[in-house]
Amino acid sequence: MKRILVIALAVLSMMGRVYADEGMWLPMFVERLNYVDMQKMGLQLTPEELYSINHNSLKDAIVGLGSSPRPTGFFCTGEIVSEHGLLFTNHHCGYGSIQKLSSVEHDYLKDGFWAKNYSEELPAADMTASFLIRMEDVTKDVLGVVTDDMDWAARGRAINAKIKELQEAASENGKYNPVIKGFFEGNEYYMFVYQVYTDVRLVGVANSSIGKFGGDTDNWMWPRHTGDFSIFRVYADKDGNPAAYSKDNVPLTPKHHLPISLDGVQKDDFTMIWGFPGSTERYMSSYGIDYNVDTFYPIIIDIFGKELEVMDEFMQKDDAINLMYADNHAGLANTWKNFIGQCTMLRKNKVSEAKVKLENNFMLWVNRNNKTEYKDALSNLKEAYSQMGKVAKYVYYPNFISQMGPTGKAAAFMGYYTAATGDDKDMKEAAAMELQAMNVDSWFAESDPQVEHKMFAEMLKLYRKAFAEEELPEFYSNVIDKKFKGDIDAFADYVYENSIFATPESIKAFIAKPSAKKLKKDYAFQISQQMTDVIMQAVPQYRASMTATQENDHIFVKGLREYYAEMYPEKSLYPDANSTMRMSYGSVQDYMPADAVHYDYVCTANGILEKYVPGDYEFDAPKRLIDLIEKKDFGPYADENGDLIVCFLSTNDITGGNSGSPIMNGKGELIGLAFDGNWEAMSGDVNFEPRLQRTINVDARYVLFIIDKYAGATNLINELDIRKSEPKPIREEEEVPAE
């Protein structure tokens, strides 16, 4: 009878559970749209403690990481974890800043870095930290300038002018940085008012063999054993205001910081993630999906794959080259594998087919209700994507390839050539003067001639392979084939030996004595000209198609919202991600990616030992870390079984830009950092896959273990608000007497 009671209680518990994992929700609407569901799942905070513009709230600990004082978009998210402005984010989010602070002698990517006090912290000159002050609905103001007689272009100009006006008014003479963005394909507009701090400093980071363990091989894969975190600090002037870097600045005292929990996670635990997701396309039509899978993604995969191949060849042989290209390689590799995964999983998960079913139902509704405003949107999208697909390769291949090596540098001299071959003497003199202002040395600062030489040759080969002979620019037949017998490597050697644009010295010599005739004869300049011609022939059709997709997406989504409101009134729609603050909630869960395959919701440090390959550039690990794991010397960061959890899975809805986001428990305590999604749900940016979609999070206890036990940075441990719940008393269940 006892067993029957337990089962009955479990069933009732499951009946009351709400699984509402899909959605990246705007914080100002959490109380109205999400709060009840979140409470049922385990949230213990009030709506006011989550988001408030009048009082300190959880949102005040969430930081948008950018590279510009203008907060129009964020590459990652961070969270404040101490009352002294200490900030956690992912290792791969800090990667670029850490690279720029490194040298061959002090390679912080390779060896790590740990500041023992404020004076040792290093300024990350290219990183900014933005705090959201408030958001507000400005839809009526923005769309109030639109009239029925406006075409799409006029509409856009009127909207942009109004947005500029509203942003200037909300800036309070430069105190704040307001940004207005469109939602639901321009059917709603919201303003986000930020304070942007530009003095951000590196505090701590583990070796890349910890922070990037598994490399590109493990990227997007589970199980994952990556300690993907880095630590920075936000500085302000003595009054707590944003200020340029100064030795007189002090650590920021934040409005709110996140405590860190040592309790760990169990299956079904409530989780929430706050951050700045970059871009999703959940309302994309089937025609857009087909265009991406069949045309756009394969082009980018082709180009980026070749670039990565060349970089890898040199990076693995030379530490200086490895450091020089580290950030660029990481970004390319992430996008490259992401697009491969999207192509694979959009097909496998039959996302386009699911969209077709929705579109068919939508059109039935449109026709049944005589919704004439929406009747042509989908057919127009079909035609627009068809036209775009016909010219896409003539835009993307030459655009990327014309940026390589001497060809890319030659493009900067197009304006001079146009003026120098014209009849206006004043324009010629002005163009020659403009050449003097060029910072030629900066063009070569982050590049190695060996890598660039090989890249230039391989890109020319790639272009030839991608196009029919009759589609190739003239220099292939007139120069490469006739003068070099089709040998692209020999042609590239000649360019690097003779082109004006091969070295900074030769470019400076040309600037000192410019000549249009010399430019015209230069092979790199000829390539740049002819590639530009290819692009310009395709651009009018490409731009017209892009405009048509934007206009008809706007109409389609407007109709889709009306369709859902009438047909599924219980369904709340959320806007696509657009690098504005969002909240998602879910739970800790395992998953089954395929028949008879089960993935647990946690992985442990034992997996590092299993994957460890000494000397391997992806799976090597520091000896000290291996020793600590083998001895099980995990200190207070071990779980109840004595294991060290490295990463765990949750059902939260995230995307790029959410990297570094805090994943929190129901009390608003940090339990980990979100850093990746799983391979089987790579289609998730277009269609949420509840059965498969998981977020991969580095466990907060592993982060603390690395800081404390591995790095010995106890000064940081002492600064954090670390919490552990008291053990719950074990109570014997009362026996239920048999009838």
Residue positions annotated with a catalytic role: 92, 228, 659
How far is Cα of residue 425 from the mean position of the Cα atoms in its chain? 48
ω into 71 cis (within 30 of 0): no
Q: Of how many residues is the chain composed?
A: 739
Instruction: List, in order, residues 6 or more apart from 119 with CB less than 8 Å away.
Output: none
Could you give the dihedral angle defined by the CA atoms of residues 46, 662, 100 and 179, in that order, rounded to the nearest 10 degrees?
-40
Comparing C-alpha atoms, which of 725, 571, 585 is closest to residue 45?
Answer: 585
Pairing of strands 250-251, 260-261: unpaired
Other beta carbons within 10 angstroms of residue 593's beta carbon come to 15
Cross-strand pairs, 77: 64
Cross-strand pairs, 649: 696
Q: What sign results for the dihedral spanned by CA atoms 25, 26, 29, 30?
A: positive
Cross-strand pairs, 189: 182
Count Cβ neighbours within 10 Å for each residue of 616-655 and write b for 16 or more, e otherwise. Answer: eebbbbbeebbebbeeeebeebbbeeeebbbbbbbbbbbb
Other beta carbons within 10 angstroms of residue 115's beta carbon come to 18
Q: Distance between terminal CA atoms of the chain?
A: 9
Could you give the dihedral angle defined by the CA atoms of residues 442, 448, 450 and 451, in that order, rounded to the nearest 10 degrees?
-100
Pairwise CA distance, residues 542 & 388, whole Å: 5
Q: Using an 8 Å Cβ cutoff, are 608 and 625 in contact?
A: yes
- Coil, helix or strand for 276? coil
455 token code pair: 């890249």
Pairwise CA distance, residues 131 & 475, whole Å: 52
What would the DSSP string read from start to end of 449-491? HHHHHHHHHHHHHHHHHHS-GGGS-HHIIIIIIHHHTT-HHHH
Q: Using an 8 Å Cβ cutoff, are 90 and 657 in contact?
A: no
Backbone angles phi, psi at 652, to 5 degrees: -60, 150
Q: Using an 8 Å Cβ cutoff, are 179 and 72 in contact?
A: yes
How many Cα atoms within 13 Å fall on the side-chain side of residue 259?
A: 13
Pairwise CA distance, residues 93 & 78, whole Å: 9
31 token code pair: 């109380």
Cα 560–Cα 561–Cα 566 angle in degrees, nearest 5: 95
Task: Report long-range pairs for 573-577 (Cβ below 8 Å, ≥24 apart).
Answer: 573/184, 574/23, 574/24, 574/25, 574/26, 575/24, 575/26, 575/183, 575/184, 575/188, 576/183, 576/184, 576/279, 576/280, 576/281, 576/282, 576/283, 577/24, 577/277, 577/278, 577/279, 577/280, 577/655, 577/657
